[in-house]
Structure 1
């Protein structure tokens, strides 16, 4: 489990491409490798990946074909900055919302507007996911726990404060950039339950 509070943006230093799998090598600072072991879970751009090897500051992750297809880890390049969050430790403060690290879809950045120090990102997502994205609700974008600022028929708006831009790779987003989306599990459960109950009663959603 994760909280959506990105701890660092870290450089992708190597990619080994094999049939059906890529191995990503990410350079992590010492404070993020301390106590890290093989088999641990680490969120990379919001994707829960398993540590397969550690060599000094370099941490290795195997990414399966389905994950490469569904997320933006299939298009990252050497030098890309990756949002990193280690798994949740119980007993510590949760500043975001609970995440599984399982990506539902990708959103495409439609526009980026700079309003003073704030950035407004308008994102477009496939229509079937919009029922789970609510005004002032939670959504995880590249592993960042964020609040939805506005909702449209085909997407939503994010209002990003300077601290979010400083700590994450969302500052690198531009029109056409694809970002990983994990919808809030509680919202999904409620919406799906309501739909199921209404359908059982013969009512349209």
Structure 2
């Protein structure tokens, strides 16, 4: 066992913090639902960064194609990830793991704020279970317009206005994500959502 642990530590030390290999190893070694959720988020962040680097070839891609690319990348990292799973409806992204872990994401292209708010309602009221180990999820926003940061801020403002029960972490004011918590209507447990935006605006001057 010590040799195995030393080998794993050596592999992890050889990788930078956010490589797919590092994420995969940390997911395998995760011993709690919070640790598993953190690795899922790292995987989403890694894929999102790759999307931004290649945004010029993604300008005509639709929601399903973008989302399937995220899932394909997550599968390559070893995640049990799927698209269109029937949990209360057609879920965009489902990740499952041992001990009944379940993480669900709704992914929307920003076509208007009502469209995004409807996506949140689907995630919250239709797809999520709210059970232990199944009480985290994500809203992923694909943004093809300028200033993704301002779009995210306006989305947060509008969601707060339409759902007074959803409380955002007021300490998170920078970056391209926000975190919220509210009481899940099905279980009465806290349901935690990360709201992330993928900036895909591309309009070169030359």
TM-score above 0.5: no
Greater relative contact order, per chain length (Cα 8 Å cut-off, separation 6+):
1
Q: If each structure's helix is expressed as a fraction of its own residues, which one has the higher value?
A: 2
- Structure with more strand by fraction: 1
Q: Please report the TM-score for the alignment, with normalisation by the length of structure 1.
A: 0.28
State the TM-score, normalizing by the size of structure 2: 0.28
